[in-house]
Every structure is written in C-alpha cells, then in structure tokens.
Structure 1
Amino acid sequence: MNKIEMSEEIILAKKELALSWEEIASLVGISPVFLTSACFGMNSLKEEVADKLCAVLNLPSIVSTALQAFPNKTWDFTVPQDPVVYRLYEVVGVYGETIKELVGEKFGDGIMSAIDFSMEIDKEENPAGDRVVITMNGKFLPYKAW
C-alpha cells in the first residue's frame, strides 16, 4: 500500500466514524497536527502509534505498515489553488524575508528546524470575527563554517 492509498483509507474511515482529527489524536495520544500530517503521508508514525490509530479507525495492519514507512516529502512547486493553503503561501511571500531578518537578528545566521519542530492550530474567539492562531516552534540551527 502506498501513502496515497493509505491516506484515502484513513480519510474514508474517519468520515465513516464521524470523528474529527482532534478526537482521533486524543484517542491515539499525539498532537492533532502531527497525526494529520502523518495521515496525509508527510510524516511517519512509530509502530505503537500507527497500530493504535488503526485500532481507533478499524483499519487493517497494512495501513499501519504504510504509516510507519518513511515519507517522500515532495509537493508541487506551483502556487496552490486551495484558499487556506494559498493564504499560507501569501503569508510567507509577504512576510518571509521579514521573518528571516528578525530570526537573524535574534539568533544569528541560521534556520528554524522543521524536524525538531512542533505546531499548534487554535481558534481565538473575537467579536470582530474569530481568529486562526498558528504557533510554530522549531529549534534554531546555526550555519557552520568549515
């Protein structure tokens, strides 16, 4: 089973059980952001977690095996059409150089890890319209000279 087939099986089971990603993650015991990313094939899960997810969703062991496989993290290089994903591209397009400059001032020459990383997505209620709160937390990795 490849990652695309795995994702399709998971999404179908999620829909049939009428569970949210938050509910599934709570039952499995990991972050909903990381769980969803793994279910979409962009990260892998340890055997124990993959098996637990499959038990929650009543999925066969072949899905667990696919969840444990290392991902091939590629994506299209074109601007996405989905409005939510496009807006994130827009944020990086407008603020990316600013983020890079401010990280450089605060930490020095380096990058934020996307491996030693966590992210949370929250909702902030606001009378002027609810707000999406995305918190990204990555280890700073300084560039090395040799």
Structure 2
Amino acid sequence: MNRADVTDLILSAKRLKGLTWKQIHEKVSVSTSPIVVTAALLGQMRLEPGEAAKAAELFELPKEAEILLTEIPYRGSLPQVPPTDPLIYRFYELVQVYGTTWKELIQEEFGDGIMSAIDFDMTMERQPDQKGDRVKLAMSGKFLSYKRY
C-alpha cells in the first residue's frame, strides 16, 4: 500500500458515506485547520497519530493506511504541469499573471526573501454576492530572509 492508495480509499469511503470535508474535519480534528486536514487526507500533509486513528475509524481503513496518514508525504505533485483541471489551472494562471507583482510588492515591503509555505496558514470562506457568490482565500506565511554566507 502507498499514499496514493490511501487517498483512493478515503475518496471512495467519503463518496459512499456521503460525507462533506467539513463533516470529516469535525470528526477527525478540532485543533487542526480544515484545510490542513483535507490536504492530509488527499496526501499533501500528515496527520497526528490521534487524528489518523479517527480518520481510519471513520473511513474503515486498515492499520497500514492509518500509519501512512502520519508519515511525511511527498508534497506538491500534480499529475500534469500546467494543470488541466480548470479550477486548479486558475491558481496556476494567478501565479503566471500576478506572480511577478506579488514578488515585487512582498520584497519591497520585507526585503530579499520568500513567503514560507511551511510556516503557513490559509482560510477559505464563501462570500455572498448579488452577481454570484465569491471565494475568499486568505494566506499568511512567515517571511524568510535570504542569508548571505
């Protein structure tokens, strides 16, 4: 069994049980953000042992799958670059269009460095709008300065 197999088992059980990611988060963890729990169950993050045990029980996973949920994953793998899924592609498009602007503005404000994707938090919310509901994402990453040696 590998991590992709575990993700497939989780997605199948989620579908068969008719669960939402919000419901899953409520059953798996109260202390970890819903985004991190969802990312972990999709193979991009890891769960703490207690969280993995709750997920394994919820999804009726074998012990090996529970253990794999706690292991450090191989992150950032997309099936194809650029991505072909329209929603994921829009994020790719945002980086293509605004990436240089974000870089200039962040480095003008903070100096030579990067925004961490490790010491990072993200929230998502739905915003009602007369023209159609909007997706609001807020990202917060620690600024890490480049060091000179």
Map 1:1-146 to 2 at 5 A.
1-29=1-29, 30-76=32-78, 78-146=81-149
Tell me, yes or no, if the aligned pair for 1:50 and 1:68 is still in contact at 8 Å. yes
Tell me, yes or no, if the aligned pair for 1:13 and 1:59 is still in contact at 8 Å. no
TM-score w.r.t. length of structure 1 = 0.94
Which range moves more in the overlay, 133-142 or 70-79? 70-79
Q: Distance in 2 between matches of 1:54 and 1:74?
A: 24
RMSD of aligned alpha carbons: 1.3
Q: 1:74: Cα distance to partner?
A: 4.3
Q: Distance in 1 between matches of 2:138 and 2:26?
A: 19
Paired residue type of 1:31: S
Residues 28 and 74 (structure 1), Cα distance of their counterparts in 2 relative to 1, 3 Å cut: closer
Q: Distance in 2 between matches of 1:27 and 1:43?
A: 17
Q: 1:73: Cα distance to partner?
A: 1.9
Q: Which runs of 5+ in 1 are unaligned?
A: none
Give a deviation string over 1:34-86, Cα, whole Å, max 9, x none.
11111111111121111111122232222111111211124246211100000
Q: Percent identity?
A: 41
Paired residue type of 1:32: P
Give a deviation string over 1:87-109, Cα, whole Å, max 9, x none.
00000100000001111111111
Q: Distance in 1 between matches of 2:109 and 2:53?
A: 42
Runs of 4+ in 1 over 6 A off after TM superposition: none
Q: 1:15: Cα distance to partner?
A: 1.1
SS in 2 for 1:43: coil
SS in 2 for 1:144: coil
Q: Distance in 2 between matches of 1:37 and 1:103?
A: 26
SS in 1 for 2:102: helix
Paired residue type of 1:69: E
Q: Which runs of 5+ in 2 are unaligned?
A: none
